[in-house]
Amino acid sequence: MSDNLVEDALGRALAYLRLAGLDADPALTRRALRLVDEMLEQGEDGLVERVMTALPERFPVPEPLEPMGAPPVHRGAIGYGVGR
């Protein structure tokens, strides 16, 4: 078994969760480690992919506020005016 592979999978999982807004405390690290351990039972091949695919289901991350790029459009027109 490659230690680097496991380390990489765990590192990715923790980085992903941190960026998604979860605090990387010891409890979270232990849960992530369990996930990697679980996925490793299915073999080394495709470990990272399985871990990253399972991550969203196993770790519900806080939903970012739906971005509102712009308010609803109230279409108007640009006029060219005339001299008085």
Chain residues that interact with another protein, rule: CB under 8 A:
8, 11-12, 14-16, 18-21, 48-49, 52-53, 61, 64-71, 73-84
For 31, the token pair is 């849960």
Nearer to another protein by Cβ, of 27 and 75: the residue is 75
Nearer to another protein by Cβ, of 27 and 78: the residue is 78
DSSP per-residue string spanning 10-25: HHHHHHHHHHTT----
Nearer to another protein by Cβ, of 7 and 37: the residue is 7
Nearest Cα neighbor of 56 from 27, 6, 26, 19 is 19
